[in-house]
A and B are shown apart, each in its own frame.
Chain A
């Protein structure tokens, strides 16, 4: 039986990743204390995207996974982005 090479992430890496995620969460909450109006949602979404990328890369192991998984995950997010863009270009300019 073929034995696949398995990448083992260290506990330390996970602890660092969690710290980063908690730090980003703190920033998101902190930013809402100031009235940045339209910018608030932009900042919140930008931070959310960074957090999602970190979770997918490290917690979900995509960073050390086979190329096919990287491509699959990438394409789904591009698909979602395209759906949003097409929908809003239609909705906002009709």
Chain B
């Protein structure tokens, strides 16, 4: 037809991925700053940090590490599934990832809940009677795992949005950069945990 208008939408996948990476860098530097605070206080109060870390549940920490690693794989696989045109599998893998994210939060709930039951929470009377180094350890523990859990929640919402967009066909085999960026964010959450886990749970 001579009157037809072909509308080509402008798209730059490299640029949008670069934007995602720049955002990830700011996140890395944010957590990097916290790791610096941790390192300095740890070198100053080594013994107190060991005593305090003894009270953390290594088992729950390990389970959550496994959960995050597996979910990282499923979200990475979902990109492969979409690129090979298997929409059904993409959705299943994404749903699995979201389920694992939820499972992580459930574990965190029980872990923190147990600490609260033992009157260990920021500002509690028990915390104020602790030695300075132990107080700093628990303060950092609640802040760092809390900030990390916040990222899990954000990642979960992001993945749910992406799930909907794949379902309704707004993310497709040929236009999948949003899924890829969502995946990158989820891997960032995993990266941070890879450092948090040994520093908080394994130093006793």
Instruction: Tell me the A residues contacting B by CB distance below 8 Å.
Output: 1, 4, 6, 8-11, 14-15, 17-18, 21-22, 25, 28-29, 32, 40-41, 44-45, 47-48, 51-52, 55-56, 58-61, 66, 68-69, 72-73, 76, 79-80, 83-84, 87-88, 91-92
Pairwise interchain contact B18-A76, C-beta atoms closer than 8 A: no
CA distance A91 to B104 in the complex (A): 36
- Number of A-B residue pairs with CB-CB distance less than 8 Å in the complex they form: 102
Instruction: Tell me the B residues contacting A by CB distance below 8 Å.
Output: 8, 11, 13-14, 17-18, 21, 25, 28-29, 32, 36, 39-40, 43, 58, 62, 65-66, 69-70, 72-73, 76-77, 79-80, 83-84, 180, 183-184, 187, 190-191, 194-195, 197-199, 202-204
Pairwise interchain contact A55-B203, C-beta atoms closer than 8 A: no
CB distance from B186 to the nearest CB of A (A): 9
CB distance from A51 to the nearest CB of B (A): 5
CB distance from A92 to the nearest CB of B (A): 8
Pairwise interchain contact A32-B202, C-beta atoms closer than 8 A: yes
Pairwise interchain contact B203-A41, C-beta atoms closer than 8 A: yes
With A14-B77, A14-B80, A72-B21 known as contacts, the answer to whether A80 contacts B58 (CB < 8 A) is no
**Out of A1, A22, A69, A79, which one reaches B8, CB within 8 Å?**
A1
Pairwise interchain contact A28-B198, C-beta atoms closer than 8 A: yes
* Chain A: CB-nearest residue to B82: A8
Which residues of chain A are within 8 angstroms of B76 by Cβ–Cβ distance? 9, 14, 58-59
Which residues of chain B are within 8 angstroms of A44 by Cβ–Cβ distance? 198-199, 202-203
Pairwise interchain contact B194-A51, C-beta atoms closer than 8 A: yes
